[in-house]
């Protein structure tokens, strides 16, 4: 039952339940004005590109090897129901964005004992799958948990300040959005 609820909640996370009218629309409600209301539509692809650009900008400005993987982070986050900033922030906290990574393991996954990734993209997918709760062997730590709880299990049991440190990096990544 819990798995079903979790899957449904992941699906519904992308469905808008309530639309809030813009100020320009509200100003025209009840008036006789026939001035057109400009509607701005942003596609899912535009949002993906904006998020990927923010990630890549953060990495590029700091000369981090993970530069160029922004879209991979965004797509993996969508696939596993994660905050799009989470995995890049873990990569920054664990290895300075790949500068001190163990091979392609920029996330310190498995206490950096797992060196079998052949690319950053493969590592992003593997860590995303685990933190997203889609790996049965690690799901008890990550499935259905909040971002802060996921970070607690990721490394907060060893470093109590870890969740807050990663969340601060997440906020800096988002600040790079236009």
How confident is the model at residue 1, as a pLDDT? 46
Separation between Cα atoms, residue 152 and residue 117, nearest integer Å: 24
5 band by pLDDT with thresholds 50, 70 and 90: very low
Within a domain: 18: no
Mean pLDDT within 99-109: 93
Within a domain: 21: no
Q: What is the pTM of this model?
A: 0.76
Separation between Cα atoms, residue 64 and residue 77, nearest integer Å: 20
| CATH code, domain with 136 | 1.10.530.10
Within a domain: 1: no
Q: Please list the helix, strand and coil fractions of the chain in percent, rounded to the nearest 5, in that order.
A: 55, 0, 45
Of the candidate ranges 40-49, 66-75, 108-117, 135-144, the one whose mean pLDDT is the lowest:
108-117
Within a domain: 170: yes
The total number of structural domains in the chain stands at 1
The greatest distance separating any two alpha carbons of the chain, rounded to the nearest whole angstrom, comes to 69
The 10 Å Cβ neighbour count of residue 11 is 10
Share of the chain above pLDDT 70, in %: 75
Within a domain: 39: no
Q: What is the mean pLDDT of the chain?
A: 84
Within a domain: 157: yes
Q: Is the pLDDT of residue 75 over 50?
A: yes
Closest CA to 163 of 52, 89, 82: 89
Question: In this predicted model, what pLDDT tens digit does every residue of 43-56 receive, in sequence order?
Answer: 999 999 999 999 99
Q: Is the pLDDT of residue 20 over 50?
A: no
Mean pLDDT within 12-22: 46
Measured in Å, how far apart are the chain's first and last C-alpha atoms? 41
Asked if 108 and 127 count as a contact pair (C-beta separation under 8 A), the reply is: no
**Could you list the residue range(s) of the whole structural domain that residue 125 is in?**
44-175
Within a domain: 28: no
Q: What secondary structure letter does DSSP report for 112?
A: G
Rounded (5°) CA angle 172-11-90: 25
Separation between Cα atoms, residue 69 and residue 84, nearest integer Å: 12
How confident is the model at residue 68, as a pLDDT? 97
Helices in 103-146 by DSSP H: which ranges? 120-131, 139-142
Within a domain: 98: yes
């Amino acid at each position: 039952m819990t798995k079903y609820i979790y899957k449904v909640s992941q699906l519904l996370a992308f469905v808008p339940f309530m639309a809030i009218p813009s100020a320009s629309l509200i100003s025209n409600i009840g008036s006789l004005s026939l001035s057109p209301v400009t509607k701005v539509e942003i596609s899912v692809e535009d949002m993906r590109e904006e998020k990927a650009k923010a990630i890549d900008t953060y990495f590029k400005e700091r000369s981090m090897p993970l530069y160029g993987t922004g879209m991979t982070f965004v797509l993996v986050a969508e696939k596993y129901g994660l905050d799009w900033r989470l995995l890049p922030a873990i990569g920054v906290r664990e290895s300075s964005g790949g500068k001190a990574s163990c091979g392609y393991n920029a996330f310190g996954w498995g206490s950096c004992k797992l060196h079998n990734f052949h690319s950053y993209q493969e590592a992003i997918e593997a860590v995303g799958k685990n933190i997203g709760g889609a790996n049965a062997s690690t799901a008890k730590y990550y499935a259905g948990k909040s971002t802060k709880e996921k970070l607690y299990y990721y490394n907060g049991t060893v470093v109590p300040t870890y969740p807050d440190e990663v969340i601060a990096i997440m906020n800096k990544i988002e600040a790079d959005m236009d």
